[in-house]
Each structure stands twice: as C-alpha cells, then as structure tokens.
Amino acid sequence: MALLFLLLLVVVSAASADEAFIGVNIGTDLSDMPDPTQVVALLKKQQIRYVRLYNADRGMLLALANTGIKVAVSVPNEQLLAIGQSNSTAANWVSQNVVSHYPATNITTVCVGSEVFTSLPNAAPILVNALRFIQSALVASNLDRQIKVSTPLPSSIILDPFPPSQAFFNHSLNRVLVPMLSFLQSTGSYFMLNVYPYYDYMQSNGVIPLDYALFKPLPANREVVDANTLLHYTNVFDAMVDAAFFAMASLNFTNIPVLVTESGWPSKGDSHEPDATIENANTYNSNLIRHVLNKTGTPKHPGIAVSAYIYELYNEDTRPGPLSEKNWGLFDGNGVPIYILRLTGSGSVLANDTTNQTYCAAKDSADSKMLQAALDWACGPGKVDCSPLLQGQPCYEPDTVSAHATYAFDAYYQKNGKAPLACDFNGVAAITTTNPSHGSCLFLGSSDKNATFLNSTAPAMSSKSSGSPAQQCNPVSAAYFMIVVVSIASALLL
C-alpha cells in the first residue's frame, strides 16, 4: 500500500497589489465531477480565497456568490475567435458571464483564452482584439477598475531563459506580444505566465537538478549564477519569472507585474516519469506556497510579490495523455486529499501546521455491518476506551454506528501516532481534517486542553473480533465528513 503524505491547501487573500496570494485552478475533466455546491463547500472549508475557472460556468458562478472568494473567469479557446472578431459578441459575453453575476460573485479577472500561441495559434492574430473588446465591455459596464483582463501564456514562448538576463520572446510572436504588452501596461493588468518546473526538469536531460526544480535548499556552491547580473538563483520558478521580466524589458516594457496562472507538480506518472511522485508533488507545492506567501520575490525583484495559482484542485482522471496529466490535483473527485502539505517552519505566516490537526472518521459510504465490526474491534482488541460512548456519557449522542465508529476510529488513530495505516479499518475509515468534536464530546485529536490522549502499542488489524463495550452501539445512519484545510497566514488579511 503506497505511503500517502498528509495534505492540505491554504490560500490567503491580498488586501493590495503588494500582497501575495496563492490560488487554485479548478479543472473539470473528471469522470464524476462534484457539483458546484460541493466544490464551493470544499473551497470554503479550506479557506481558499482565490480560484481560477477555465470557463464561466453559470452554476459555479452562482455557487460562488456571496462567498467572498475572488474569481478569475475565462473565455475558453473555442469562443476566442468569435469574440476577437466582434465587439458585440465580446459585450454579450461580458454581460452574460460577468455583469449578471457581479458583485455577488467577486469576479476580479477575465482570462482571455489559455496558452493561445501554442494551443490555438490560428487565433493569435485576433488575441489582442479579444483583450481590447472584453476590456471595452467592462469599461461600458463601469467595471474596468475592479476587473483585470489578460491572457495566460506558456513559458515556452520565452527563448534562452537561462541566464534570465538573456531571455527573449520568440521573435515570430512579437507582432502580437508588443501590442499585448502595451495593452497590459495601459490597463494596469498582469503578464500571466504558466510556470512548470516539472517539465523544465524533465526536458533538461539531467542538466537541471531535481532539488533546483523542487525549491529545495541548495548550498551556495550549487546556486546558479547569472553571469551578466551576478544574481543567484536557487530554483527554477524564480528563474522563469525573472526570464519573463527580462524578456519584457527587451521589448521596453519594465513595469508589468507577473502573475503565475498555473504551477504545480504531478503526484503520479508512467514508468518514464519516475519523478512524478507524491513526495515530490508535496515538496514542490509546499515550498511554492511558502515561497509565495513569504513574499520572497525573485532575485531581480526581491520582496515584490509574485502570486500564483496552483494547478490544480482535483485530479482530472479523464484528461488525455500520460498518467501524469491526470494527477496534478490536491484532491481526488471525492474531496479526499492526495497528500497533506508540509507547511511547518515558516514562522508566523505559516503558523498553523495542519499535519497536527488530522482525525480519523468513518466513511460515509461504508457498509454498516463492516462499520460495526470495526467498531467492535477498536473497542475490544484495539484497546480503545469506548466508555464515553455509553448511554449517558458525552459521546453517546448521536446514537449511530457511524458517529460511534468515528469516535473509536479517531481514538485508535491518535494513540497510534496518526500513522496512515491506523486509519483504515478494512477500508471503512479515512483521514480528515474536520474536527468531529461536538458539544461536550471532545475527540482526542482536538486542540481543546480537556481532551485526553491515550498511549498504547498498536495490535495487528482485524475486524473479526467483538465482545466490547461497543456492543451497546446501534447502527443507523451515516455522517458525511468533508476534508477541511485550515487557513495559514493569520498575519495576512483575508
């Protein structure tokens, strides 16, 4: 059984352009895509304050209303040609997908297309027109100050990215890029860039060290130095962002901020993708979050925030391509974390270590007879003190097998050091970050100082034993537990 690391996602909002934020992309190529209300419930419980949609789905926008979550909507590539050739089509799009939802849904950005130069090159000539038409429609609706317009670009359009000071754009694209950059500068918008150190590493044939791609600390003698500027680079992410700044400067644009619209690392891959692992995905995304929220900036612009959207919220199991394409998500389609981000050691910005706030709960879909058997085992051979589940005791209510099993499962999990295998119970339990405590029933993993922690040796797992205090529990209904992520960065404004 593969070792799963604990997960969690954080996102804090920014009060000004100088504040950094981490957002999350929400793809929809899932065989069983959660409905919008479920998606938003997950976002809210995880304190995710910034999201990017790849469309302007009405159901999602309605579900996001009155949540305060800042939303980037997108003009899909398949609609780009029509919008880039017709001002009225752009105006209708803005009316239907922005104006009709704003301000209840806090739309802050319109992404016009996605990686158009590489994914839809025949639309490149009208891309700037599309940007201008969308902007004009926002101006007409008096929303141009509240909502920025830009287009996410692939980092592959930047040639010779190292050293960053020598970077330049593919010259064949300059006829589009120059007016685009002029538009971004005049409207105060962002240069949107998708940055994937995973692909840079994979395509380097060993030239780029894995640690350099993963933000892992490097000794001074292994840092990469730009001979032209003498700037030291400790990771691929910063080098690519600075390459974008230098490439823009080569076209005489020096004051356009960079917003990273996609970045991440896959947690699983095919046999020829040995570095697409849970460990590396956890390391990359944990370090990315820490790097962004600490407002480290880049060597060229230290201390200047470069915000980023993590790719992505869910694993997209129906995406074509290699196995890695399906495994960039932080969660599976059921909202179960793929891993828990390791966010300790980052000072006050990352003060809440979510790995200390995990619990073990009965699965909503678990068979009641299997739950009862596992409950009996936990309260018997598992040596869990189930006396709080007796009638008249704090955890007797609700008197259901699911609720009682959750108490017993969590007690066993906590006393065995939160080992992942201590929360399995033949597949009827799962790790969650939702604190199941209720009323005076305080679970062992609760931060409440009145909770009691037990210590004992973990016996071999079996669900076939019975004859414990749990025999007094009656199976009835099931309870549903959503994965919760605790917000980090209490020092930043939400």
Active site residue 397: no
- Burial of 146: CB neighbours in 10 Å, binned 0-12, 13-18, 19+: middle
Distances (CA, A) of 202 to 153, 158, 258, 309, 438: 20, 17, 24, 21, 48
CB 119 within 8 A of CB 167: no
What is the rounded CA–CA span in Å between residue 142 and residue 109? 14
Query: How many angstroms separate the CA atoms of 401 and 235, rounded?
Result: 50
| Among 78, 115, 312, 325, the one annotated catalytic | 115
- Give residue for tokens 């609700």: 398
* φ/ψ of residue 74, rounded to 5: -135, 145
What is the distance between the alpha carbons of residues 463 and 371, in angstroms, rounded to a whole number? 9
8-state DSSP, 220: G
d(C-alpha 354, C-alpha 346), whole Å? 13
Cα dihedral angle (315, 49, 436, 28), rounded to 10 degrees? -20
Residue 415, amino acid = K
Give dist(CA 375, CA 395) in Å, integer.
14
Q: Which of 262, 312, 316, 325 is catalytic?
A: 262
- The question of whether 316 is a catalytic residue gets the answer no
Pairwise CA distance, residues 471 & 435, whole Å: 25
- Alpha-carbon gap, residue 150 to 116, rounded angstroms: 12
Q: How far is CA 129 from the centre of its chain?
A: 32
How, if at all, do strands 153-154 and 168-169 pair? unpaired
Catalytic residue numbers, as ranges: 115, 262
